[in-house]
A and B are shown apart, each in its own frame.
Chain A
Amino acid sequence: MSRPLTIRELRKRYGDLPVLGGVDIEVAPSEIVAVVGPSGCGKSTLLRLVAGLDTHYRGEIRVGDELVCGPLPAVGLVFQEPRLFPWLSVVDNVAFGLDDRRGATSATLVREVLEAVDLTPFAAALPKQLSGGMAQRVALARSLVTEPQVLLLDEPFSSLDAFTRMRLQDHLLNAWVRYRPTLLLVTHDLDEAVYLADRVVLFGERPGRVVDVIRVAPPRPRDRRDPALAALRVALLEALHLERDASLVTS
């Protein structure tokens, strides 16, 4: 059901400032790809472009065969903050993106997704009654309920404490197993990247571009203590440092 995401020669500038300098990423159907890189390297901009929030770019973004030139129903985006509608209960927040025409089925979809993120008892709660981790799970559910073929996540767990973050990573994986969307995840957490992703894409300093791609081989479910993951983390760290040193030399 999910579709591939193809990004080719993607360039973006804000005025005179180049933000993305020719990005090529291909994400296979149901693959999980993490993008890591220094702050300000255009990772978030990349997601905004793929989500169709900003259509001023050069290059090509395709979801399946469809060219992105505005928001697509097939593409979901989870922001860094939960961004829940404070006047809507958890159920109504989750149902926000569902088409009214779905009628009775939408209630079933909402119930299922709340179960998937373990929030069934809080269906009637208001956002102000939720903890940060719960709020972000509601946001995840809101993006999943429309069954997007491509799901984008912009540092979704970065504002949470380490324990909550690990729980939410597992919630995300459970939801991914259930809905099987193609996942493009931006993060600055290397552990998160190697734990979740099939491949980790390394971005270089501005203007952002892909400097390295590392494949994460261990099959899921993974063990966070797996030395193979630790080794990959070290490799990523070294690659990031090399990249930074290189850019310092050139500038």
Chain B
Amino acid sequence: MGKGGHQIAAPDVALRNPTAATRGRRWPSLLPWILPAVIVALWWGSVAVGIFEVFQLPPPPIVLDAAIGMWRRGLLQQDLLATTVRVLEGFALGSVVAIVLGTVTGLSLRSEKILEPTLQALRTVPTLAWAPLFILWLGIDEIPKVTLVAVGAFFPVYVNLVAGIKGVDRKLVEVARVFDLGPFAIARRVVLPAAVPDLITGLRLGATQAWLFVVVAEFFGASQGLGFRLTDSQQSTRVDLMFVAIVSLAILGKLTDSGIRAVERRVIAWRDTIGERRPE
């Protein structure tokens, strides 16, 4: 049986073989860049043929110049740092609270009945409604901005974790029950590990939300940050600077997502899904 089994397992091992993965990697690694290249080409081309005026849509070289100029004056670094710190702090705060509340709600029916209706109602409140209130309550420094980002990160993490816990296979729980494990041991050893993939999905969505919410937070009473740069350059009709902010946000958002996905691939390599086979 050992030999027969080995043959069955062999293709799987080959798929995960590092040399095989890197060999198939040279071409696919270019694929993600095709679409951005097309977008830049359209952007540049539409100004070149006169669909848009330069003041409406500054072409890539002008945006690059603006970015270099901002960098030389130290503004770009300052904005990037301010926004990134707010995102990281808010994301950390929101995720931790979401993981605590989500675990409690997912595991205990009573907590679910107490917490869930209120949280679901709060979830539907638009971001813009919170921002002025947070400033009113929490002042105009970093705290209201970080709080707003935390609210943004909280809900995707919370919702996905609760769904993950509720979706754990009853059959696996039964195995633990046969071994006479108590509810806490079952939660720790079966339910929570099984919900980790959903938690990571939630963290990815939460990180995306954090980048959206930080911009809104910086619309109100900030003196630095990419969101502040957006409104500030809008008022002074510096469309090139707006583009610097927008492109920066896109790059930072993508980097965050890639980071979480790298963690995801390590933590849930055990999953047997078609997504796990993708050499990326």
Tell me the bound Cα distance from A129 to B276 in angstroms. Answer: 13
Name the contact of A130 in the complex, choosing from B5, B174, B269 (C-beta under 8 A).
B5
Would you call B272 and A76 a contact (CB within 8 A)?
Answer: no
Q: Is the interface of A mostly helix, strand, loop or mixed?
A: loop
Convert B1-35 into 0s and 1s, putting 1 for each residue whose CB lies closer than 8 angstroms to a CB of A: 11011101100110000000000000000000000
Name the contact of A133 in the complex, choosing from B5, B171, B178, B270 (C-beta under 8 A).
B5
Would you call B8 and A131 a contact (CB within 8 A)?
Answer: yes
Tell me the bound Cα distance from A76 to B271 in angstroms. Answer: 27
Interface size on A, residues (CB 8 A): 37
Tell me the bound Cα distance from A52 to B270 in angstroms. Answer: 31
Q: Is the interface of B mostly helix, strand, loop or mixed?
A: helix
CB of A122 closer than 8 Å to a CB of B: yes
Would you call A71 and B178 a contact (CB within 8 A)?
Answer: yes
Task: Provide the residues of chain B in CB contact with A75, threshold 8 Å.
Answer: 178
Q: Chain A's nearest CB lies how many Å from the CB of B14? A: 11
Name the contact of B175 in the complex, choosing from A83, A128, A130 (C-beta under 8 A).
A83
Interface residues of B in 178-192 (CB under 8 A from A): 178-180, 189-190
Would you call A83 and B177 a contact (CB within 8 A)?
Answer: no
B271: nearest chain-A partner, CB-CB: A86
Name the contact of A129 in the complex, choosing from B9, B171, B175, B196 (C-beta under 8 A).
B9
Chain B interface size, under 10 / 10 to 19 / 20 to 34 / 35 or more: 20 to 34
Would you call A122 and B180 a contact (CB within 8 A)?
Answer: no
Contact of A53 with B174 at beta-carbon distance under 8 Å, contacts A87-B193, A121-B6, A131-B5 already known: yes
Task: Provide the residues of chain B in CB contact with A125, threshold 8 Å.
Answer: 9
Would you call B177 and A53 a contact (CB within 8 A)?
Answer: yes
Q: Chain A's nearest CB lies how many Å from the CB of B56? A: 53
Task: Provide the residues of chain A in CB contact with B175, threshold 8 Å.
Answer: 79, 83, 85, 96
Interface residues of B in 200-257 (CB under 8 A from A): none
Q: Chain B's nearest CB lies how many Å from the CB of A139? A: 9
B270: nearest chain-A partner, CB-CB: A87
Interface residues of A in 39-92 (CB under 8 A from B): 51-53, 70-73, 75-77, 79, 81, 83, 85-88
Task: Provide the residues of chain B in CB contact with A167, threshold 8 Å.
Answer: 1
9 cross-chain pairs, A with B, having the tightest CB-CB distances, nearest first: A128-B272, A97-B179, A131-B8, A71-B180, A87-B270, A77-B178, A134-B5, A129-B9, A83-B175
What residues make up the interface of A, taking CB atoms closer than 8 Å to B?
Answer: 51-53, 70-73, 75-77, 79, 81, 83, 85-88, 96-97, 118-119, 121-122, 125-131, 133-134, 137, 146, 164, 167, 171
